[in-house]
Amino acid sequence: MTNINNFWNQKIIHWENSRYFNKNINLYEKIVSKFSNSLFIRREILLKLLKNKIRNKNVIEIGCGSGFLCDKIISYGAKSYFGVDFSSKAIERARKINLKYIKKNQASFSTIEVGKIGSIKQDVIFSLGLIDWLKDDDLYHLSKISKNKLFIHSFSRKKISLSQYIHKIYVFFSYKKKTSFYPKYLSRKKIINIFNNVHFYQNKKLKFGEFFFNFNL
């Protein structure tokens, strides 16, 4: 049976290449990529919301993939960046991409599952696309280890919309029909129940995507 580490090792590099670099994709992926502009918008919004919160702070990105945001986080004045991910292959590539920051002791990377993170020493926590993939136990664990920290996470809000209906079809054929690992949609009520006092940020360009965070803008 495929575990979460193997699942992401098989998926992440191809997914990043197809979504961010338009590499090695078939006709099906080309069609799907047409609906992926929100990924870039989501990243831009995250960086805008974080920019004034991370100067001289130690920052951790959970679900960092190949660490593409490390450069930006450091350029915004963060004291350090720590990237963690399920996939050892993604972490391997992240270390190659961000070698100059590793050599300067400004960045480090590690392969670990969310539920196995013992504690977080960094000041600021963020993630993109992580929350949708977590089980409830992992969400509660993330909430527990995030206490007294600043955090911001993206999530897919459960709502009735054409874009979400199309996404559900994609999720069914790409994941749900083949594996037990697939992204989910969460209500604001559930987010509040787990993470308590949070704010929400939405933008129509994100379609059904939103952010929740615990600091003032």
Angle at 45 between CA 40 and CA 47, to 5 degrees: 95
User: At 217, which amino acid appears?
Assistant: L
If one counts the domains in the chain, the total is 1
- What pLDDT is recorded for position 81? 98
Task: Indicate the pTM of the whole model.
Answer: 0.88
Q: For the sheet containing 199-202, what is the strand order?
A: 107-111, 80-85, 58-62, 124-127, 150-156, 209-213, 199-202
What is the tens place of the pLDDT at every residue in 168-180? 787 777 666 666 6
What is the tens place of the pLDDT at every residue in 106-122? 999 999 999 999 999 99
Partners of 80 in beta bridges: 58
Q: Which two tokens mark 147?
A: 């206490």
CATH number of the domain enclosing 169: 3.40.50.150
Q: Which domain holds residue 111?
A: 4-213
Q: Is 156 helix (H, G, I), strand (E, B) or coil?
A: strand
Angle between helices 136-145 and 188-195 (to 10 degrees): 50
